Structure 1
Protein backbone atom coordinates (compact mmCIF):
# COMPACT_ATOMS: atom_id res chain seq x y z
CA UNK A 1 0.00 0.00 0.00
CA UNK A 2 1.50 3.29 -1.05
CA UNK A 3 1.73 6.42 1.06
CA UNK A 4 -0.59 9.11 -0.26
CA UNK A 5 0.13 12.53 -1.70
CA UNK A 6 1.65 14.09 1.41
CA UNK A 7 4.06 11.20 1.78
CA UNK A 8 3.01 11.04 5.43
CA UNK A 9 1.60 8.31 7.65
CA UNK A 10 -0.63 8.75 10.72
CA UNK A 11 -1.53 6.26 13.45
CA UNK A 12 -4.82 6.79 15.30
CA UNK A 13 -5.75 4.55 18.23
CA UNK A 14 -9.48 4.09 18.71
CA UNK A 15 -9.70 5.42 15.18
CA UNK A 16 -12.77 3.67 13.81
CA UNK A 17 -15.68 5.22 15.73
CA UNK A 18 -16.78 8.41 17.48
CA UNK A 19 -14.21 11.18 17.78
CA UNK A 20 -11.49 8.80 16.66
CA UNK A 21 -13.22 8.15 13.36
CA UNK A 22 -13.54 11.92 12.84
CA UNK A 23 -9.78 12.17 13.40
CA UNK A 24 -9.16 9.42 10.87
CA UNK A 25 -11.42 11.05 8.30
CA UNK A 26 -9.73 14.42 8.78
CA UNK A 27 -6.23 12.98 8.39
CA UNK A 28 -7.28 11.09 5.26
CA UNK A 29 -8.71 14.34 3.87
CA UNK A 30 -5.37 16.01 4.62
CA UNK A 31 -3.65 13.37 2.52
CA UNK A 32 -2.30 11.05 5.19
CA UNK A 33 -2.17 7.28 4.92
CA UNK A 34 -3.88 6.36 8.18
CA UNK A 35 -3.40 3.26 10.30
CA UNK A 36 -6.53 3.15 12.48
CA UNK A 37 -6.54 0.86 15.52
CA UNK A 38 -9.56 -0.59 17.27
CA UNK A 39 -10.21 -3.20 19.94
CA UNK A 40 -13.85 -3.88 20.76
CA UNK A 41 -16.11 -3.07 17.79
CA UNK A 42 -15.22 -5.02 14.63
CA UNK A 43 -18.40 -3.91 12.85
CA UNK A 44 -17.46 -0.24 13.24
CA UNK A 45 -13.96 -1.09 12.03
CA UNK A 46 -15.30 -2.82 8.92
CA UNK A 47 -17.58 0.14 8.20
CA UNK A 48 -14.71 2.61 8.55
CA UNK A 49 -12.45 0.52 6.34
CA UNK A 50 -15.15 0.29 3.66
CA UNK A 51 -15.77 4.05 3.77
CA UNK A 52 -12.13 5.13 3.57
CA UNK A 53 -10.78 2.45 1.27
CA UNK A 54 -7.07 2.33 0.50
CA UNK A 55 -6.42 5.54 2.44
CA UNK A 56 -6.94 3.70 5.73
CA UNK A 57 -5.58 0.42 7.07
CA UNK A 58 -7.46 -0.99 10.05
CA UNK A 59 -5.87 -3.20 12.71
CA UNK A 60 -7.16 -4.71 15.93
CA UNK A 61 -4.79 -3.97 18.79
CA UNK A 62 -4.88 -3.82 22.58
CA UNK A 63 -2.91 -0.69 23.43
CA UNK A 64 -2.70 -1.72 27.09
CA UNK A 65 -0.47 -4.67 26.10
CA UNK A 66 3.11 -3.44 25.64
CA UNK A 67 4.15 -6.55 23.70
CA UNK A 68 1.25 -6.18 21.30
CA UNK A 69 2.04 -2.50 20.81
CA UNK A 70 5.65 -3.35 20.06
CA UNK A 71 4.70 -5.91 17.43
CA UNK A 72 2.22 -3.50 15.87
CA UNK A 73 4.83 -0.74 15.70
CA UNK A 74 7.32 -3.07 14.04
CA UNK A 75 4.73 -3.89 11.39
CA UNK A 76 3.78 -0.27 10.78
CA UNK A 77 7.40 0.83 10.48
CA UNK A 78 8.21 -2.03 8.13
CA UNK A 79 5.19 -1.71 5.84
CA UNK A 80 4.20 1.97 6.04
CA UNK A 81 7.28 3.80 7.24
CA UNK A 82 7.76 6.24 10.10
CA UNK A 83 4.51 7.92 11.19
CA UNK A 84 4.50 11.69 11.12
CA UNK A 85 1.44 11.77 13.39
CA UNK A 86 0.45 9.61 16.36
CA UNK A 87 -2.96 10.24 17.92
CA UNK A 88 -3.47 8.47 21.25
CA UNK A 89 -7.25 8.44 21.33
CA UNK A 90 -8.17 4.96 22.62
CA UNK A 91 -9.74 5.03 26.07
CA UNK A 92 -11.73 3.05 28.63
CA UNK A 93 -14.22 4.28 31.19
CA UNK A 94 -15.54 2.11 34.04
CA UNK A 95 -17.43 4.15 36.62
CA UNK A 96 -17.68 2.97 40.22
CA UNK A 97 -17.44 4.51 43.70
CA UNK A 98 -13.77 4.19 44.65
CA UNK A 99 -14.48 2.00 47.70
CA UNK A 100 -16.29 -0.51 45.46
CA UNK A 101 -13.81 -0.45 42.60
CA UNK A 102 -11.99 -3.70 41.90
CA UNK A 103 -8.30 -3.97 41.14
CA UNK A 104 -9.19 -5.05 37.61
CA UNK A 105 -11.44 -2.01 37.04
CA UNK A 106 -8.67 0.26 38.27
CA UNK A 107 -5.93 -1.32 36.17
CA UNK A 108 -8.03 -1.75 33.01
CA UNK A 109 -8.68 1.99 32.79
CA UNK A 110 -5.16 3.09 33.82
CA UNK A 111 -3.52 0.56 31.49
CA UNK A 112 -5.54 1.74 28.49
CA UNK A 113 -5.73 5.49 29.10
CA UNK A 114 -2.25 6.13 30.50
CA UNK A 115 0.03 3.16 29.86
CA UNK A 116 -1.27 2.79 26.28
CA UNK A 117 -0.10 6.27 25.17
CA UNK A 118 3.24 5.64 26.90
CA UNK A 119 3.69 2.34 25.05
CA UNK A 120 2.75 3.89 21.68
CA UNK A 121 5.03 6.89 22.18
CA UNK A 122 7.90 4.65 23.27
CA UNK A 123 7.38 2.46 20.20
CA UNK A 124 7.20 5.24 17.58
CA UNK A 125 8.94 8.35 18.95
CA UNK A 126 12.54 7.14 18.47
CA UNK A 127 11.90 6.64 14.74
CA UNK A 128 10.11 10.02 14.55
CA UNK A 129 13.03 11.73 16.23
CA UNK A 130 15.53 10.01 13.94
CA UNK A 131 13.44 11.11 10.94
CA UNK A 132 13.68 14.70 12.19
CA UNK A 133 9.99 15.44 12.73
CA UNK A 134 6.78 14.15 14.21
CA UNK A 135 3.66 15.09 16.14
CA UNK A 136 2.02 13.23 19.02
CA UNK A 137 -1.45 14.27 20.16
CA UNK A 138 -2.82 12.73 23.35
CA UNK A 139 -6.59 12.90 23.78
CA UNK A 140 -7.13 13.91 27.38
CA UNK A 141 -10.30 14.93 29.24
CA UNK A 142 -11.64 17.80 31.32
CA UNK A 143 -11.90 15.32 34.21
CA UNK A 144 -8.11 15.18 34.18
CA UNK A 145 -8.26 18.72 35.62
CA UNK A 146 -11.55 18.77 37.51
CA UNK A 147 -12.66 15.51 39.20
CA UNK A 148 -16.08 13.90 39.16
CA UNK A 149 -17.87 11.35 41.27
CA UNK A 150 -17.36 7.62 40.62
CA UNK A 151 -14.56 8.19 38.11
CA UNK A 152 -11.39 7.99 40.19
CA UNK A 153 -9.70 5.60 37.75
CA UNK A 154 -10.62 7.62 34.67
CA UNK A 155 -9.80 11.00 36.25
CA UNK A 156 -6.45 9.77 37.53
CA UNK A 157 -5.55 8.31 34.15
CA UNK A 158 -6.37 11.52 32.29
CA UNK A 159 -4.55 13.70 34.85
CA UNK A 160 -1.53 11.46 34.39
CA UNK A 161 -1.86 11.77 30.62
CA UNK A 162 -1.55 15.57 30.86
CA UNK A 163 1.76 15.23 32.70
CA UNK A 164 2.89 12.45 30.38
CA UNK A 165 2.31 14.91 27.55
CA UNK A 166 4.55 17.52 29.16
CA UNK A 167 7.32 15.04 29.95
CA UNK A 168 7.30 13.68 26.40
CA UNK A 169 7.34 17.22 25.01
CA UNK A 170 10.48 17.97 27.05
CA UNK A 171 12.29 14.78 26.11
CA UNK A 172 11.36 14.73 22.42
CA UNK A 173 12.01 18.40 21.61
CA UNK A 174 12.97 19.99 19.34
CA UNK A 175 11.99 17.64 16.51
CA UNK A 176 8.86 15.90 17.87
CA UNK A 177 6.00 18.02 19.23
CA UNK A 178 3.63 16.59 21.85
CA UNK A 179 0.33 18.18 22.89
CA UNK A 180 -2.92 17.24 24.61
CA UNK A 181 -6.30 17.80 22.97
CA UNK A 182 -9.16 17.96 25.48
CA UNK A 183 -12.78 17.56 24.36
CA UNK A 184 -15.64 19.02 26.33
CA UNK A 185 -19.20 17.85 25.78
CA UNK A 186 -19.09 16.37 22.28
CA UNK A 187 -22.04 14.75 20.53
CA UNK A 188 -21.06 11.07 20.36
CA UNK A 189 -22.93 7.83 21.04
CA UNK A 190 -20.88 7.34 24.19
CA UNK A 191 -21.78 10.80 25.47
CA UNK A 192 -25.45 10.27 24.68
CA UNK A 193 -25.41 7.01 26.63
CA UNK A 194 -23.37 8.15 29.64
CA UNK A 195 -24.72 11.68 30.13
CA UNK A 196 -28.11 11.17 28.45
CA UNK A 197 -27.68 14.22 26.25
CA UNK A 198 -30.48 12.99 23.98
CA UNK A 199 -33.01 13.50 26.79
CA UNK A 200 -34.32 17.11 26.51
CA UNK A 201 -34.31 17.76 30.27
CA UNK A 202 -30.70 16.56 30.71
CA UNK A 203 -29.53 18.40 27.62
CA UNK A 204 -31.15 21.67 28.71
CA UNK A 205 -29.56 21.44 32.16
CA UNK A 206 -26.15 20.73 30.67
CA UNK A 207 -26.31 23.64 28.24
CA UNK A 208 -26.67 26.12 31.10
CA UNK A 209 -23.01 25.40 31.99
CA UNK A 210 -21.70 25.96 28.45
CA UNK A 211 -21.34 29.62 27.40
CA UNK A 212 -21.85 28.76 23.73
CA UNK A 213 -25.10 27.02 24.73
CA UNK A 214 -24.54 23.95 22.58
CA UNK A 215 -22.78 20.61 22.50
CA UNK A 216 -19.76 20.29 20.23
CA UNK A 217 -19.37 18.07 17.19
CA UNK A 218 -16.77 15.46 16.33
CA UNK A 219 -15.92 17.52 13.26
CA UNK A 220 -14.93 20.44 15.51
CA UNK A 221 -12.61 18.13 17.42
CA UNK A 222 -11.10 17.02 14.11
CA UNK A 223 -10.53 20.64 13.13
CA UNK A 224 -8.64 21.18 16.38
CA UNK A 225 -6.52 18.15 15.59
CA UNK A 226 -5.82 19.60 12.14
CA UNK A 227 -4.37 22.69 13.80
CA UNK A 228 -2.16 20.71 16.20
CA UNK A 229 -0.66 18.50 13.49
CA UNK A 230 -0.22 21.32 10.98
CA UNK A 231 2.52 23.85 10.32
CA UNK A 232 0.48 26.55 12.05
CA UNK A 233 1.24 24.84 15.37
CA UNK A 234 4.98 24.48 14.67
CA UNK A 235 5.79 26.49 17.83
CA UNK A 236 3.27 24.68 20.05
CA UNK A 237 4.40 21.80 22.26
CA UNK A 238 3.70 20.59 25.78
CA UNK A 239 0.33 22.37 25.76
CA UNK A 240 -3.32 21.47 26.25
CA UNK A 241 -5.99 22.65 23.83
CA UNK A 242 -9.48 22.54 25.36
CA UNK A 243 -12.41 22.43 22.92
CA UNK A 244 -15.48 22.80 25.12
CA UNK A 245 -17.49 25.90 24.18
CA UNK A 246 -16.05 27.75 27.20
CA UNK A 247 -17.41 25.33 29.80
CA UNK A 248 -14.08 25.09 31.64
CA UNK A 249 -11.88 28.15 31.26
CA UNK A 250 -8.53 26.83 32.53
Structure 2
Protein backbone atom coordinates (compact mmCIF):
# COMPACT_ATOMS: atom_id res chain seq x y z
CA UNK A 1 0.00 0.00 0.00
CA UNK A 2 1.22 3.48 -0.81
CA UNK A 3 1.93 5.61 2.25
CA UNK A 4 -0.13 8.79 2.44
CA UNK A 5 2.28 11.68 2.00
CA UNK A 6 0.74 15.12 2.31
CA UNK A 7 2.28 18.45 1.35
CA UNK A 8 0.90 21.92 1.90
CA UNK A 9 -0.40 23.88 4.83
CA UNK A 10 -3.57 23.00 6.69
CA UNK A 11 -6.60 24.57 5.06
CA UNK A 12 -8.26 27.57 6.63
CA UNK A 13 -11.96 27.84 7.29
CA UNK A 14 -12.97 29.76 4.17
CA UNK A 15 -13.74 28.38 0.74
CA UNK A 16 -15.36 25.15 -0.34
CA UNK A 17 -13.41 21.96 -0.98
CA UNK A 18 -12.44 20.84 -4.49
CA UNK A 19 -10.83 17.44 -5.09
CA UNK A 20 -8.67 16.86 -8.19
CA UNK A 21 -7.18 13.45 -8.92
CA UNK A 22 -3.93 13.63 -10.86
CA UNK A 23 -3.86 17.23 -9.69
CA UNK A 24 -0.14 18.01 -9.38
CA UNK A 25 1.21 17.89 -12.94
CA UNK A 26 0.28 19.02 -16.45
CA UNK A 27 -3.39 19.68 -17.07
CA UNK A 28 -4.26 18.49 -13.57
CA UNK A 29 -1.99 21.07 -11.98
CA UNK A 30 -3.57 23.84 -14.07
CA UNK A 31 -7.01 22.69 -12.93
CA UNK A 32 -5.93 22.65 -9.29
CA UNK A 33 -4.45 26.13 -9.57
CA UNK A 34 -7.55 27.51 -11.28
CA UNK A 35 -9.84 26.10 -8.60
CA UNK A 36 -7.58 27.59 -5.92
CA UNK A 37 -7.70 30.93 -7.74
CA UNK A 38 -11.51 30.71 -7.70
CA UNK A 39 -11.39 30.45 -3.92
CA UNK A 40 -11.65 26.71 -3.38
CA UNK A 41 -9.54 24.76 -0.96
CA UNK A 42 -8.01 22.13 -3.25
CA UNK A 43 -7.07 18.57 -2.35
CA UNK A 44 -4.82 17.46 -5.22
CA UNK A 45 -4.32 13.69 -5.35
CA UNK A 46 -1.18 12.21 -6.88
CA UNK A 47 0.37 8.80 -7.33
CA UNK A 48 4.10 9.03 -6.74
CA UNK A 49 5.90 12.20 -7.89
CA UNK A 50 6.68 13.83 -4.55
CA UNK A 51 8.63 16.69 -6.11
CA UNK A 52 5.67 17.66 -8.29
CA UNK A 53 3.44 17.47 -5.22
CA UNK A 54 5.71 19.81 -3.26
CA UNK A 55 5.80 22.26 -6.15
CA UNK A 56 2.02 22.16 -6.56
CA UNK A 57 1.53 22.86 -2.85
CA UNK A 58 3.97 25.78 -3.06
CA UNK A 59 2.27 27.23 -6.14
CA UNK A 60 -1.07 26.96 -4.37
CA UNK A 61 0.09 29.44 -1.73
CA UNK A 62 -1.77 27.72 1.08
CA UNK A 63 -4.86 26.74 -0.92
CA UNK A 64 -3.59 23.41 -2.30
CA UNK A 65 -2.94 20.36 -0.15
CA UNK A 66 -1.66 17.21 -1.85
CA UNK A 67 -2.38 13.62 -0.89
CA UNK A 68 -0.61 10.55 -2.23
CA UNK A 69 -2.97 7.79 -3.31
CA UNK A 70 -2.90 4.96 -5.84
CA UNK A 71 -6.14 5.27 -7.77
CA UNK A 72 -6.04 1.57 -8.69
CA UNK A 73 -6.41 0.61 -5.01
CA UNK A 74 -9.97 1.06 -3.75
CA UNK A 75 -8.89 0.89 -0.11
CA UNK A 76 -6.51 3.82 -0.56
CA UNK A 77 -9.14 5.85 -2.42
CA UNK A 78 -11.65 5.16 0.32
CA UNK A 79 -9.17 6.10 3.06
CA UNK A 80 -8.18 9.45 1.56
CA UNK A 81 -11.84 10.23 0.84
CA UNK A 82 -12.86 9.51 4.41
CA UNK A 83 -10.05 11.72 5.66
CA UNK A 84 -11.07 14.62 3.44
CA UNK A 85 -14.72 14.33 4.42
CA UNK A 86 -13.86 14.18 8.11
CA UNK A 87 -11.54 17.18 7.96
CA UNK A 88 -13.25 19.41 5.38
CA UNK A 89 -16.77 18.19 4.72
CA UNK A 90 -18.37 17.48 1.36
CA UNK A 91 -16.57 18.74 -1.76
CA UNK A 92 -18.30 21.27 -3.96
CA UNK A 93 -16.19 20.18 -6.93
CA UNK A 94 -14.74 16.79 -7.89
CA UNK A 95 -12.45 16.48 -10.91
CA UNK A 96 -11.53 12.96 -12.05
CA UNK A 97 -8.37 13.71 -14.00
CA UNK A 98 -5.89 10.95 -13.12
CA UNK A 99 -4.99 8.79 -16.09
CA UNK A 100 -2.23 6.73 -17.66
CA UNK A 101 -1.54 5.28 -21.08
CA UNK A 102 0.38 2.21 -22.16
CA UNK A 103 0.26 2.30 -25.94
CA UNK A 104 1.01 -0.92 -27.84
CA UNK A 105 -0.48 -2.80 -30.79
CA UNK A 106 -3.45 -4.84 -29.61
CA UNK A 107 -1.72 -8.17 -30.26
CA UNK A 108 1.16 -7.09 -28.02
CA UNK A 109 -0.93 -5.85 -25.06
CA UNK A 110 -0.32 -7.70 -21.82
CA UNK A 111 -2.87 -8.38 -19.12
CA UNK A 112 -1.13 -5.73 -17.00
CA UNK A 113 -1.28 -3.16 -19.82
CA UNK A 114 -5.03 -3.61 -20.00
CA UNK A 115 -5.73 -3.91 -16.28
CA UNK A 116 -3.63 -0.94 -15.13
CA UNK A 117 -5.04 1.48 -17.69
CA UNK A 118 -8.66 0.49 -17.03
CA UNK A 119 -8.09 0.47 -13.28
CA UNK A 120 -6.65 3.99 -13.31
CA UNK A 121 -8.71 5.69 -16.01
CA UNK A 122 -12.14 4.15 -15.39
CA UNK A 123 -12.28 2.28 -12.10
CA UNK A 124 -10.39 5.09 -10.33
CA UNK A 125 -13.12 7.66 -11.09
CA UNK A 126 -15.75 5.11 -10.04
CA UNK A 127 -14.16 4.50 -6.64
CA UNK A 128 -13.43 8.17 -5.93
CA UNK A 129 -16.87 9.35 -7.01
CA UNK A 130 -18.62 6.60 -5.07
CA UNK A 131 -16.71 7.63 -1.96
CA UNK A 132 -17.46 11.36 -2.23
CA UNK A 133 -20.79 11.71 -4.06
CA UNK A 134 -23.05 10.68 -1.14
CA UNK A 135 -21.75 13.57 0.95
CA UNK A 136 -22.15 15.94 -1.99
CA UNK A 137 -25.77 14.85 -2.47
CA UNK A 138 -26.43 15.21 1.25
CA UNK A 139 -24.95 18.73 1.14
CA UNK A 140 -27.35 19.57 -1.69
CA UNK A 141 -24.81 20.86 -4.18
CA UNK A 142 -21.82 20.05 -6.33
CA UNK A 143 -20.27 19.56 -9.74
CA UNK A 144 -18.31 16.58 -11.02
CA UNK A 145 -16.06 16.86 -14.07
CA UNK A 146 -14.48 13.79 -15.67
CA UNK A 147 -11.51 14.53 -17.89
CA UNK A 148 -11.83 12.46 -21.04
CA UNK A 149 -10.08 12.29 -24.40
CA UNK A 150 -11.16 12.56 -28.02
CA UNK A 151 -9.86 9.00 -28.47
CA UNK A 152 -12.78 7.95 -26.29
CA UNK A 153 -14.98 9.08 -29.19
CA UNK A 154 -12.78 8.46 -32.22
CA UNK A 155 -10.53 5.35 -32.13
CA UNK A 156 -6.84 5.23 -32.89
CA UNK A 157 -4.33 2.48 -33.43
CA UNK A 158 -2.12 1.09 -30.65
CA UNK A 159 -4.31 2.38 -27.82
CA UNK A 160 -7.28 0.05 -27.44
CA UNK A 161 -6.90 0.01 -23.65
CA UNK A 162 -6.74 3.80 -23.36
CA UNK A 163 -9.53 4.38 -25.90
CA UNK A 164 -11.79 1.85 -24.18
CA UNK A 165 -11.18 3.43 -20.78
CA UNK A 166 -11.99 6.92 -22.00
CA UNK A 167 -15.05 5.76 -23.93
CA UNK A 168 -16.28 4.12 -20.76
CA UNK A 169 -15.63 7.32 -18.81
CA UNK A 170 -17.84 9.32 -21.20
CA UNK A 171 -20.77 6.95 -20.66
CA UNK A 172 -20.04 6.81 -16.93
CA UNK A 173 -20.48 10.59 -17.00
CA UNK A 174 -23.87 10.41 -18.68
CA UNK A 175 -25.15 7.74 -16.29
CA UNK A 176 -24.04 9.74 -13.27
CA UNK A 177 -25.64 12.88 -14.69
CA UNK A 178 -28.95 11.03 -14.80
CA UNK A 179 -28.69 9.47 -11.37
CA UNK A 180 -27.27 12.40 -9.41
CA UNK A 181 -29.57 15.07 -10.87
CA UNK A 182 -30.90 17.49 -9.90
CA UNK A 183 -28.46 17.95 -7.02
CA UNK A 184 -25.13 17.24 -8.75
CA UNK A 185 -24.15 18.24 -12.27
CA UNK A 186 -21.79 15.81 -14.04
CA UNK A 187 -19.94 16.62 -17.27
CA UNK A 188 -16.94 15.51 -19.30
CA UNK A 189 -14.10 17.84 -20.21
CA UNK A 190 -12.29 16.56 -23.30
CA UNK A 191 -8.92 18.11 -24.15
CA UNK A 192 -7.36 17.76 -27.57
CA UNK A 193 -3.65 18.19 -28.29
CA UNK A 194 -2.52 20.26 -25.32
CA UNK A 195 0.97 21.67 -24.94
CA UNK A 196 2.26 19.66 -21.97
CA UNK A 197 5.56 17.76 -21.64
CA UNK A 198 3.69 14.46 -21.66
CA UNK A 199 1.85 15.23 -24.91
CA UNK A 200 4.97 16.63 -26.59
CA UNK A 201 6.94 13.48 -25.74
CA UNK A 202 4.12 11.04 -26.45
CA UNK A 203 3.44 12.37 -29.94
CA UNK A 204 7.00 13.36 -30.85
CA UNK A 205 6.11 17.05 -31.14
CA UNK A 206 9.66 18.19 -30.46
CA UNK A 207 10.28 17.22 -34.10
CA UNK A 208 9.29 20.27 -36.22
CA UNK A 209 8.07 18.05 -39.05
CA UNK A 210 5.85 15.99 -36.77
CA UNK A 211 4.58 19.14 -35.05
CA UNK A 212 3.67 20.67 -38.40
CA UNK A 213 1.77 17.49 -39.32
CA UNK A 214 -0.25 17.66 -36.11
CA UNK A 215 -0.95 21.37 -36.40
CA UNK A 216 -2.10 20.80 -39.97
CA UNK A 217 -4.93 18.62 -38.61
CA UNK A 218 -6.16 21.36 -36.25
CA UNK A 219 -8.32 24.08 -37.82
CA UNK A 220 -7.06 26.71 -35.36
CA UNK A 221 -3.46 25.67 -36.21
CA UNK A 222 -2.16 25.61 -32.65
CA UNK A 223 -1.89 23.32 -29.66
CA UNK A 224 -4.14 24.03 -26.75
CA UNK A 225 -2.72 25.38 -23.51
CA UNK A 226 -3.41 24.18 -20.02
CA UNK A 227 -5.07 27.54 -19.41
CA UNK A 228 -7.54 26.77 -22.22
CA UNK A 229 -8.51 23.59 -20.38
CA UNK A 230 -8.73 25.43 -17.05
CA UNK A 231 -11.03 28.01 -18.66
CA UNK A 232 -13.37 25.21 -19.70
CA UNK A 233 -13.33 23.74 -16.21
CA UNK A 234 -14.18 27.13 -14.75
CA UNK A 235 -17.23 27.28 -17.02
CA UNK A 236 -18.40 23.78 -16.12
CA UNK A 237 -18.14 24.18 -12.35
CA UNK A 238 -19.22 27.82 -12.14
CA UNK A 239 -22.44 29.75 -12.50
CA UNK A 240 -22.22 30.03 -16.33
CA UNK A 241 -22.50 26.24 -16.55
CA UNK A 242 -25.34 25.88 -14.05
CA UNK A 243 -27.74 24.47 -16.69
CA UNK A 244 -25.23 22.05 -18.23
CA UNK A 245 -25.10 18.38 -17.26
CA UNK A 246 -24.41 15.09 -19.00
CA UNK A 247 -22.39 16.82 -21.71
CA UNK A 248 -18.91 16.50 -23.19
CA UNK A 249 -17.09 19.79 -23.73
CA UNK A 250 -14.34 19.29 -26.31
CA UNK A 251 -11.44 21.77 -26.23
CA UNK A 252 -9.28 20.92 -29.21
CA UNK A 253 -9.16 23.80 -31.70
CA UNK A 254 -11.68 22.06 -33.94
CA UNK A 255 -9.62 18.92 -34.50
CA UNK A 256 -12.57 16.69 -33.66
CA UNK A 257 -16.00 17.72 -34.88
CA UNK A 258 -18.21 14.79 -33.98
May I ask how many residue pairs the two structures share in their alignment? 249
Q: Would you say the 8 A contact 1:4–1:31 is kept in 2?
A: no
Q: Give ranges in structure 1 of 5+ residues lacking alignment.
A: none
TM-score when normalising by structure 1? 0.98
2:155 to 127, 135, 147: 147
2:124 to 116, 119, 133: 116
1:217 to 222, 225, 228: 225
1:165 paired to 2:190: no
Structure 1 residue 53 displacement after superposition: 3.0
Task: Output the CA distance in 1 between the equivalents of 2:244 and 2:164.
Answer: 25
CA-atom RMSD in angstroms: 0.9
Structure 1 residue 3 displacement after superposition: 4.5
Q: Identify the residue that residue 216 of structure 2 maps to in structure 1.
A: 208
Q: Deviations over 1:88-113 (max 9, x none)?
A: 00001001111111111100000000
Q: Identify the residue that residue 62 of structure 2 maps to in structure 1.
A: 54
Task: Output the CA distance in 1 between the equivalents of 2:40 and 2:70.
Answer: 23
* Deviant stretches of 4+, over 3 Å: 1-5
Q: Identify the residue that residue 238 of structure 1 maps to in structure 2.
A: 246
TM-score when normalising by structure 2? 0.95
Structure 1 residue 31 displacement after superposition: 0.3
Q: Identify the residue that residue 30 of structure 1 maps to in structure 2.
A: 38
Q: Deviations over 1:97-151 (max 9, x none)?
A: 1111111110000000000001111001110001001110000000001111110
Structure 1 residue 202 displacement after superposition: 0.7
